[in-house]
Amino acid sequence: MTISQLPSVHDCSATGCSYNHDAGCHAGAITIGGAHAACGTFVQISFRAGIERTGVVGACHRTDCSHNAGLECGAASVQVGGKAGDPADCLTFTSA
């Protein structure tokens, strides 16, 4: 996989995140990990952040997901949103 093939964040419902603009992720790249496939890039700061393009999944620690290969995500794209009490989880997680 090359950097240009990293999956995009198709949509994100964590509108409280500083990287979220109009239900889209604008972080350069996010990292997924933790007990509930949590988005480790989620942050709530008093200003909007990020870049003028849709964020991608730069790394993922969920080796128990069927899309994961070598700690990278092989899904075509992912959806992020609240789940299991976390404000931002990868909703595309599929148990391997």
60 contacts 32 by C-beta, under 8 angstroms: yes
Q: Does 56 bind ligand SF4 (CB under 6 A)?
A: no
Sole binder of ligand SF4 in the list 12, 14, 78, 88 (CB under 6 A): 78
- Reduced to 3 states (helix: H, G, I; strand: E, B; else coil), residue 81 is strand
Q: Does 41 bind ligand SF4 (CB under 6 A)?
A: no
Q: Which strand (E) or helix (H) includes residue 86? A: strand 86-90
CA separation for the pair 41, 47 (Å, rounded): 15
Sole binder of ligand SF4 in the list 25, 56, 73, 88 (CB under 6 A): 73
As measured in angstroms, the least distance from the Cβ of 72 to ligand SF4 is: 8
Q: Does 38 bind ligand SF4 (CB under 6 A)?
A: no
Q: Does 42 bind ligand SF4 (CB under 6 A)?
A: no
Q: Does 62 bind ligand SF4 (CB under 6 A)?
A: yes
73 phi/psi in degrees, rounded to 5:
-95, 130
